[in-house]
Amino acid sequence: MTLRTLCGIAALALCAAPAFAALPVGAPAPTFTTQASLAGKEMPFDLAQALKKGPVVLYFYPAAFTSGCTIEAHDFADATDSFKKLGATVIGVSADPIDKLDKFSVSECRNKFAVASATPQMIADYDVKLATTTRANRTSYVIAPDGKVIFAYSAMDPAGHVEKTMDAVKAWKAAHRKG
C-alpha cells in the first residue's frame, strides 16, 4: 500500500469513530445547577441536592422533538416509576432552551421526569459534545449518591439506554441494601 492509501484509510477510520466520549466509571460527576422543567413548570435542578435522595440517572440527548430523542423520552417516562421505586431520580439534559423543554416535558416526557437545559460548560464537563455542533450526544450516566459515576453508556441509538441504566441502578441498590 502506498502512503497516500494508508492516510486515506486512517482518515476514514477517524470519521467512522464515535465523535464523543464519556466520563469513565469511578470518575467524580461534575456538579451543576441548571434550569429544568417538569410537567411544564420551570424549576432549578441541583445535582448535589438530587444525590442526597439517591442515585441520579442523568441522560444527555441531542435535541427535543427529534425522532430518537422522542423515543428515548417515552422510554424513560415509561420506566420512571420503576426508577423511583429504586430511589433513583431521572433527569434528561439537552442544549435546548427552557421554553422548548417546558413543552417537551409535558408531551414527550409525559410529566414523569424533569428535563434540563445544559450549558456549554455542562456539555464539556460531561464530555458529551458532538464534534460538529454545540449539541450533546446521547450518553447516559448513573451517578451514585457519593457523586461517583457508576455507569456510562454512549450510543446514538436510543435503544438500550433505559434498560442499561435500570440494570446499573438495580445493581447499585442490591449492593447497598441494608441487611
Share of the chain above pLDDT 70, in %: 86
Model confidence band, residue 132 (pLDDT cutoffs 50, 70, 90): low
Structural domain span for residue 93: 36-174
Model confidence band, residue 2 (pLDDT cutoffs 50, 70, 90): very low
| Within a domain: 18 | no
Model confidence band, residue 55 (pLDDT cutoffs 50, 70, 90): very high
Distance CA 84, CA 102 (A): 22
Residue 155, C-beta contacts closer than 8 angstroms, at least 6 positions apart:
138, 161
What is the number of structural domains in the chain?
A: 1
| Within a domain: 90 | yes
In the residue annotation, 69 being an active-site residue is answered as: yes
Share of the chain above pLDDT 90, in %: 72
Instruction: Specify the pLDDT at position 16.
Output: 31
| Within a domain: 179 | no
Distance CA 116, CA 168 (A): 22
Average pLDDT over residues 88-92: 98
Average pLDDT over residues 50-61: 97
Model confidence band, residue 131 (pLDDT cutoffs 50, 70, 90): low
Average pLDDT over residues 112-126: 93
Distance CA 110, CA 124 (A): 29
pLDDT in tens, 149-175: 999 999 888 888 999 999 999 999 999
CATH number of the domain at 75, please: 3.40.30.10
* DSSP reduced 3-state for 122: helix
Instruction: State pTM to two decimals.
Output: 0.85
* DSSP reduced 3-state for 141: strand
- Checking if the pLDDT of 94 tops 90, the result is yes
Residue 137 class from Cβ within 10 Å (0-12 exposed, 13-18 middle, 19+ buried)?
A: buried
| Within a domain: 6 | no
